[in-house]
Every structure is written in C-alpha cells, then in structure tokens.
Amino acid sequence: MRFHPAGALSAAPATAFDARALRAEFPIFREPRDTPLVYLDSAATSQKPQAVLDAMDRHYRTCNANIHRGIYAIAEQATAAYEDARRRVARFVGAPSPAEIVFTRNSTEAINLVAHSWGRSQLRAGDAILLTVMEHHANLVPWQLLAAERGIELRFTPITAEGDLDLVACAALLADGKVKLLGVTHVSNVLGTVNPVARIAQLAHDAGALVLVDASQSVPHFAVDVAALGADFVVFTGHKMLGPTGIGALWARRELLESMPPFMGGGEMIREVKLTGSQWADVPWKFEAGTMPITEAVGLGAAVDWLERVGMDAIWAHDQELIAYAMSRLSTVPGLRVLGPPAERRGALVAFTLGTIHAHDVATVLDAGGVAVRAGHHCAMPLHEHLAIAASVRASFHCHTTTDEIDTLVLGLERAGQVFA
C-alpha cells in the first residue's frame, strides 16, 4: 500500500512497471551520444514518446486543415481530431463535459485567462486574492498585474519549516471574508510538496472564495479528478505531461465559464460579427480566439492515451519508489540539503543545495556526466528568497527514470563536491 494524493491507497504492484521498456518508446533516449542522456528535468518539460510524435506527424500528413469552418473532407477530419483530443483530455481529468475544457497555450495562459476574464469582471478594489509563497511565477505574476490595476490586496499562505502549507495561517487569512480567489499549486515545483488541495478548497469555499489549482506538476504524475478536487478552476500544461509545447488547458464548471466574458477577441470565438459589435460563441470556443494549436492538441490527446495505457496509478507508484530511493541516496552526499518535506509527502522531484557550491556549478559538473538537471530558482524566486538561498538544483523524474540514473546523479554530485572542495 502506498500514499496516494487523492486520499485513496493504491496497491499498484511495482514489479509490473518496467521503466526500461517504457524508455525505449522515447526517441530522445535512442539518439547516439558520447555520454548517455540522464534526463532529470521532466518537471521543466517532459520528453515525448514516439506515439505523440507519430500522432502529430500523421495529422500534418493526412488531414491538416483549419478547423470549425472548412466544408471539405480533411477539414472535417481535422475538426473531429481536435474535438476528440478535447474529449480525451476532459475524460483524463474527470471533467463532466468536454465543454468544460478550454484549450490554451499552457498553464500560464490559462491563469492569465482567468485573471483577465473572471478577475477583471468580478474583482473590485478592496477585494483580496490569497496565494501561497510556494507558487510558480505563473500563478503569481498575473495576479500582481491584476492587483496593481484594480487595487486588490494579495495575501500569501506561508509554509512550515518542513515545506508544507500552513493551513492554520491559511484559514486565518481567509477569515475576514475579503478573499475572493484562492490560488494554490497542487504540487510545488521546488519543494515537491503535494498540497491537500481538497481541504484547502473547503476552507476557501467556506469563506466565500473561489479556488484555482495549478495542476501543472500533478496531472502528469497521478490521476487528478477535477470534480473531486473541489476547485473552481484547474490549469495544466501539455508539455509537462509527455505532450507537445504550445497546448495546455483550463478546466472550470460550465456555468462558471458561461458567466465569464471572453479573454481574447478574434476569429473562432464568435457566433456573429457586425462592424460595431459581436456575439460570442458557446463555451469552450468563446475562449479560443484565432487558429488554435490544432496539431498540438492532437499530440496532447495522444499523450493522454499513452499515459492511460501505462496507467496513472502505476506511474505514481513508480514516482514514489524513485523519490524514496533518491531521498535516501541524496542523504549520503556530504553537504547536501534537501528542500521540502520527506518522501512520503512529495511528488516526483527533489530540489537541494550542495554546501556553498552555486547551483550552476553543480549543474555544469553534472552535465559533463550527461545528467540534465535544472539549476536556478525554477520560476519561484519568492520561495527561494523565503528559504534564504539564491538558487537550488532540482532533479525531477518521470516514468522512464530508473534508479541507475539516480545513482549517476549521486556520483556526479560527489564529483562536484570534490571539484569545488
């Protein structure tokens, strides 16, 4: 039995999972290189299985056409492929209807959509937005822009010494009823913390606030059911879930989407246009102005199929084994300090500092051994400031990651320690 973020206990057998066999499905690992690629940066962007590349290639080769308007065979096929991708993504995250999935460029655009459309139409001076100190810049900067424009107060739920959200403080920050939106990341991209989003959503709803969950780091790794989360808005991005760049999604209840004004204006998002005014298309198309990344949506649909074939519970079980192994191995490296909670409350990533050695120096030594990690602030500068460090090194995993690769990481870290001793 192992920890499952949705609260259930998963008993997926680890032996059924063959990371090496899955690895063979990723062309990037088959490229000839002097040093084998040890890719430990899936939290920045994931690698793509052959099935995703094939689906996009096939789409371009067989039915490339603009969607929702062409009165010819391949245009109808292209429209069907795009809307089929929406259906698959909706089913994958438990959305009751495909109309509740709005395609965006990525999570960042999805959050900007909510800030511009819902935020500008609903929030007034004196209202507050409650975020957390562990947010990615994507769930911080759009709200700063809105706050400056509208005279809205930003509040931040702090973290405990272990790197968990302080829910007592969160409840206190909600108490005066001024908070109209609570934004929280499902899994911290630095601390790895899996946040108790359902409990937080309950607190927020009790205080009269809507809830936006940044699921960029959770949807790629475990089964996320938007209905069960209790959130009002959920955003995620395709390129972190084995899909292509340029495609992401916003989920929100249909009535909520219908109540929101458009985000961007242009073609595709209208029903009727006159020179002096227009009527909007139905949701979700009302929010999809201009020609969308059609082939990327098809690629995301293929990624979802691939993830479902492997099984999200199996992927999560593999993640849990990897992170437990990594935490145990990293604890043997002299001077290494892990940021965030113990393995039991983590997603598939671990950020750390190594003595006083700068993260870029560590990453450069690792790179010479073929190990790709992220070094810097991982788009979470306020969190690094809170932790009083300039930068950290982050290793993140996915289904193709093996314990051998974690051993290679540890060897490289020991080497970095020697070089800069």
- Cβ proximity of 190 and 339 under 8 Å: yes
* Type of residue found at 419: V
355 lines the binding site for another protein (CB under 8 A)? no
415 lines the binding site for another protein (CB under 8 A)? yes
Segment 34-73, which members bind another protein (CB under 8 A)? Answer: 34-35
Exposure string over 75-92, b if 16+ CB within 10 A, otherwise e: bebbbebbeebbebbbeb
Segment 389-408, which members bind another protein (CB under 8 A)? Answer: 390-391
Is residue 63 annotated as a catalytic residue, yes or no? no
Q: Which of 94, 98, 370, 382 binds another protein (CB under 8 A)?
A: 370
What is the rounded distance in angstroms from the CA atom of residue 90 to the CA atom of residue 84?
A: 10
Q: How far is the CB of 214 from another protein (least distance, A)?
A: 22
Residue indicated by tokens 């809507």: 210
31 lines the binding site for another protein (CB under 8 A)? no
Q: How far is the CB of 367 from another protein (least distance, A)?
A: 7
Q: Which of 20, 91, 271, 360 binds another protein (CB under 8 A)?
A: 360
Q: Edge-to-edge strands of the sheet including 374-376?
A: 336-339, 349-354, 392-396, 374-376
Q: Which of 376, 386, 407, 414 binds another protein (CB under 8 A)?
A: 376
Q: How many CB atoms lie within 10 A of CB 97?
A: 12
Q: Compare residues 30 and 360 and give the one whose CB is closer to another protein.
A: 360
Segment 193-222, which members bind another protein (CB under 8 A)? Answer: none
What is the rounded distance in angstroms from the CA atom of residue 174 to the CA atom of residue 160?
A: 18
305 lines the binding site for another protein (CB under 8 A)? no
361 lines the binding site for another protein (CB under 8 A)? yes
Among residues 63, 170, 379, 399, which one is catalytic? 379
Q: Which of 122, 160, 364, 403 binds another protein (CB under 8 A)?
A: 364
Q: How far is the CB of 361 from another protein (least distance, A)?
A: 5
What is the rounded distance in angstroms from the CA atom of residue 261 to the CA atom of residue 280?
A: 9
Q: In 3-state terms, the chain is what percent helix, strand and coil (to 5)?
A: 45, 20, 40
Residues known to be catalytic: 379
